[in-house]
Every structure is written in C-alpha cells, then in structure tokens.
Amino acid sequence: MKKNNSSYRHITGYILFLIFWSLVLFWIKPPKALHSSVINKNKVPPGITEETIEIYGNNTISQTFTAKKKWMEVQVFLCNNGETYKGNYHVVLQDNSGTILAEWTKQKFNLNAKGNWVSFKLDGMSGEAGKEYSLKISAPNLSKDDCILATISPETLYKKGQLSISDTKREGTLYFGVDRVYPNVFAIAVFIILGVVIMIWCLNQNNSVEKLAPMIIMGTGICMMLIMAPFSSPDDQYHYESSLMVSNVLMGKNDLGTVESEYIDYSGLRSHTNPNSAYVRVLRDAVHPFRVNREPTYQYQVRDSLYMPLAYFPQAVGLAIGRSLHLNFSYTYYLGRLFALMAYCAMVCTAIHFMPKKKMLILLCSILPICLQQATAYSYDTMINGLSFIFFAYIVMLAERSAPDGRSLVRWNDVIVIGILGGLLSPIKLIYFVSMLAFLVIPVNRFISKKDKLIKFIVAVFIALGIIFITEYPTITTIISGNQLENNVSRYTLGSMMAIPLESLKIIVSSVESQIWGLIEQSVGSSLAGLNLFIPKYIVIGLILLVLVVLAGSGENNISLHSNQRRILFFISIVELVGVFLGMMIGWTQYGNQTIEGVQGRYFIPFMVPFLLSIEPKNIHSNVSNRRILGCYWIFEIGIIITVLNQIVA
C-alpha cells in the first residue's frame, strides 16, 4: 500500500512539473494565433511602383475602411527611414462618429529599412461588420531626417476606403490588411492528445517497451501530424502527387494523371514551411468534410515513370479511401498521412519485436522529431526508415540466437526476408544496398558451415539485386552515362567524376568535413520543414544524450557483438555516409561546384542503428531505467510542439 501511495505521489509530482514546464514555455514562446483575412493585404502587380509617405511632426496618414466580417486586428506595412532607431509613433483607431476605440504607441526600433508588417490588435473587443473605421498614424516627436514611411498604392487597384495625408484627401490606399483572429486550436488539440498519451504512459510505465511502443508512436506521430502544415515537409507536394497516382491504380482508374480538381487545389498552402494560411485552410475544410464538386477533373502532367510506387502504398490507401468517400482535400490529405503513420508504427513495432535487446534504442530513434516528421508526410522516407529499423533488428536477432549443434539457425526463409528487406531499401536510394553487408555480422556458428553462410549471403544479395534492377535500371544507366541535364544545368555523373578522380575526392572530403556536425544535428531534428523551422539546441543536445544513455544501458542489456562485427557495422555506416554525399553530388550538385549541395540529415536515419551499435560502450554502463528515459523525452516533446507552433509564418 505504501509503495502504491509513493508511486502515485511521484506520478502527481511529475505531471505537475510537466504542466509548469508547459506554462513556462507558453509564456516564453506562445503558439501563434491563427489569422483569417477579412481585408487582404495589398499586393502590387508587376510594373506598379509604390509611393512612400513620410510620417513625422505634423505629417500624418489616415485610412478609412469597412470590413464585411467581424475583425480583431489591423496590420500596416511601415518602414524606418532614419539612421537611428530611437523614438516612437502613435496609431489611433476611430469609428465613423470620431470616437477613439483603441490607441497604440510603438517603438521605432521594431521597424527596418526595407519595411515590415506591424500588427495592431484589439484587446477585449472586435470590429463590427459593415461599419466604417479610420486608422490614423502619426509621429509628432520624429523629424524629417529620422521619420517613418508608410507605403501606398493607386486607389484604382485597391478600393478599400478613403486615404488622407495630413487631413488632405487623395487617391490611393495604405498598405494594410484586416484580420479575424482565432485561438490556435491545433495547439489545444495537440496538448489534449499528448496529455492523454502521457497519462496512459504514467499509469502503465512499468509495461515493456513492446507494449508501450504502439501508443507512444501513434500519439507523438499524430501530434507531429497536426503541428506540421500540409506540404511543409521536404518535397511533400511531389510525393503527394505520386501518392495520388498510386491511389488511381488502387481505385482502378486507367489514367494515372487525372484526379478530381478538389485534390489539386493548393490554395493557402506553401511548400517547405508552416504558413498561417495553411492552418486556416484546414480549419475551414474541417467544417465541411465533403467536397462540393464531384465531377470536374484536372489533368496534370504525368511523369515519365512513377518512382518506386510501393513506397507510396500506405499513403495511397488513405487517399483512395478519402476520394471514394468524396471527402474534401484536407480530410483526404490527412487520411493519407494517418495511413503513413500507421504503416510506420507497424514497421517500428515489428523491429522492436525482432530486436532481442536494446528495444528502447529502436523506439527512441523512431520518435526523434525528424523521424516523426517524415513518418507523417507523403515522403518515401516513411518506408525507408521503417524498413531499415526492421532490417537491422532482424540481423541482430539472428546474430544473438543460441545455436544448437548441427543445425543452422539462419534458415532459407530468413535469407529471403533479408534479401527482400535489403532490396526494398535500396531502390529508393541505391547507396543503402551497402546494408546487405550486415549479413556478415551473423556469426558462422549460426550456420552449418562457412560454405553455408557464403551461399546464403550470395543468395540474399542476388534477391536484393533482382529487386533493384527491376525497379531502378533506368536510373542506374542515367547515372553511369554522360552528364545529367536538369533545366539545362549539367550535373556530376560517375563518368565525369572518374575523369577528375582526385578533384572529386577532394570535393567529397571537404564537404563531409564542413557539413557533418550540422547534419548530425539535422538527423535528430534540429531543423524541420524545409530546413527553416528550428528546434532549440538544448532539445537537440538533450535528445542526443538520451540516445547515448540508452545505448550505454545496463551490462545485461548489451548486445554481444565482438570487434569484427562492430567493424562491419561501422564500415557500413561510413560507406553509406560517404555514399549519401556521393549520391547528392551526382544527382543534385551543379557540375563545377566545389561543395556538394542538397545533403540533409534525414538521409542518415537508415544507418543510425548500425552506427550506434558499432560504438556501443562495453565498459561504460548506465542504469537509467526506460521509465526515466521516456520521462525526459516528454519534457523535450513539449518543447518541440510549442517551438513549432511559435514559428507559424504569415
């Protein structure tokens, strides 16, 4: 009884700490509110030159406007025209009777020379629909040499109300916008889900990793899916359209390139970032789940070949279901992401089941921010990462089995499984074929003889090669032949690199040396979306330390790999690391460049497990329990969620 009371006190204390930690982060980096435009911000068409008005002393500018809906915020585009950033300016909001409704005094140092949008929020009230308001900007304490600038455009372009400069009416309109502001319902939903997951974990934290894994992966994955806007993950639009093609196959359609117009309506969305407009689009779609127009179709250009269709199968199933039910874009899009997450969860749980020891290592690596981002996107990284976890867990399982005399523990069905897993990994990125060398980690005493091991290794390699050549022959021939051309830009190929071997080697080595540490941080999740959504250093370092603590583990939980086995795993990791740079040099880098372009840390995830196992310490052991590891992880997870929601862009 005393033990139970003590346990409940610890759980209560931990939950109270998480609530306190969340409140502190909310205070430091509050999630951005969502803005829906009532009057859109001005956009000047090509060829139209903006005019700027100096605001200082008695020079003022006033703009009247009438909104069709209730509103809570006005945004104005202002510039700093002086050499100093001292002083302030004053903004007044009045109704049509001249009653002052709100006043703001803001510091000039928040403005830059190129200009920026400044928000003026109504506290505790909202502007009425159909009523005329006036916004007046003044800076009586500034001089002509140290003034601020307001930008205006011709009234013929934007008829939003009457513009006055120093009480003199004139044509034109101020650069401004009027928004309706909503609380960030995504933050509310995510913290409800995360809170439920943490509560269930607290009440079941003594369960095995294998039992906890499905809930943890699905819970954290759904949170990541909600905080990352559509198309924010790398190349997500490309992968989404590829998944649409596969869904056409599943739906029995003959034309892979024809889909309902609803599903290629990308209004409000923006690639490689988390824009406010994308979240607002999803909220609007949530109110009306079914698409309005069921007949119109839109034909977009079908690519010459559908790249590795199996990699998009989970996402395509979700899309096919959504399209068959006539759901709108957002519901269908998120259904595809949900099926991707479910497939990833199934693969990781399978890997954890196969892994004889260090199961927490697989789980922790699989829920790193970058892994969850890719697992909830349309990228084929979902399949690559999941298969890589299964592949190496299966190898370790075979290497750790006890071998009875006269029997081979590595049966032919194991050989087929390894060959298929290696073959499915490699077509997506050819360099991962090197992972097949992990077969050599399995000790000879798991086979009948050395000859038996050699034969089975060769068979597994040929199975993998068969899958690769069936799916990748066009790509292989392109890489080996002359320079690849993309938009009339010449790229490196193996042929061009062999012509200048020493220079090519120098480019690879210098690129690895200059980029490696940043890429290691990226492989944890230091920068999400299009490498422009940054996670704080303390979270990245904390997650790396957690992985290393799990790797050290207790002596009984260590995987018994001898030195030669570790060398093989380390060799695989180094070759694949260099191979990633080589692949991006061939496929991405312009011929003649001295630095390899396009390398991202997420490409390191498939060989993360073999690298970690190759450096597993034998003489340094950690007795930190899995319960404490996950307890620390939730602290970082809360920080990740709040950080992402704080970086929503206009």
Range 265-282 average pLDDT: 91
Tell me the backbone φ, ψ of residue 649, rounded to 5 degrees. -100, 155
Q: What pLDDT score was predicted for residue 621?
A: 74
**Domain 37-182, classified CATH 2.60.120, yes or no:** yes
Give CA torsion, residues 154, 156, 161, 166, to 10 deg: 30
Q: Which of the given ranges, 47-51, 111-115, 366-370, has the highest pLDDT on average?
A: 366-370
Range 67-94 average pLDDT: 88
In this predicted structure, the answer to whether residue 545 has a pLDDT above a threshold of 80 is yes
Average pLDDT, the chain: 87
Determine the Cα–Cα distance for residues 243 and 256; give it in Å rounded to an integer: 10
Which helix (H) or strand (E) is 107 found in, with range? strand 100-107
Range 376-404 average pLDDT: 90
Q: What pLDDT score was predicted for residue 425?
A: 86
Range 247-252 average pLDDT: 90
Q: Who has greater pLDDT, 521 or 261? A: 521
Determine the Cα–Cα distance for residues 485 and 162; give it in Å rounded to an integer: 54
pTM of the model: 0.89
Lowest-confidence segment of 163-177, 488-502, 536-550, 636-650 by average pLDDT:
488-502
In this predicted structure, the answer to whether residue 482 has a pLDDT above a threshold of 50 is no
- CATH 2.60.120 occupies which residues in the chain? 37-182
Range 465-481 average pLDDT: 64
Tokens of 327: 């759901």
Determine the Cα–Cα distance for residues 313 and 310; give it in Å rounded to an integer: 5
Q: What pLDDT score was predicted for residue 431?
A: 87
Q: What pLDDT score was predicted for residue 406?
A: 47
In the chain, count H helices and then E strands. Answer: 18, 19
Model confidence band, residue 484 (pLDDT cutoffs 50, 70, 90)? very low
Range 3-19 average pLDDT: 82
pLDDT tens digits, one per residue of 516-539: 999 999 999 999 988 889 999 999
Model confidence band, residue 243 (pLDDT cutoffs 50, 70, 90)? very high
pLDDT tens digits, one per residue of 418-452: 999 999 887 777 889 999 999 999 999 888 889 99
CB neighbours (10 Å) of residue 518?
A: 14
Q: What pLDDT score was predicted for residue 156?
A: 56
67: Cα separation from own chain's centroid? 36
Which helix (H) or strand (E) is 615 found in, with range? none
Q: What pLDDT score was predicted for residue 319?
A: 96
In this predicted structure, the answer to whether residue 487 has a pLDDT above a threshold of 50 is no
pLDDT tens digits, one per residue of 322-346: 999 999 999 999 999 999 999 999 9
Cβ 274 vs Cβ 532: under 8 Å:
no
Side-chain-side CA neighbours of 636 within 13 Å: the count stands at 26
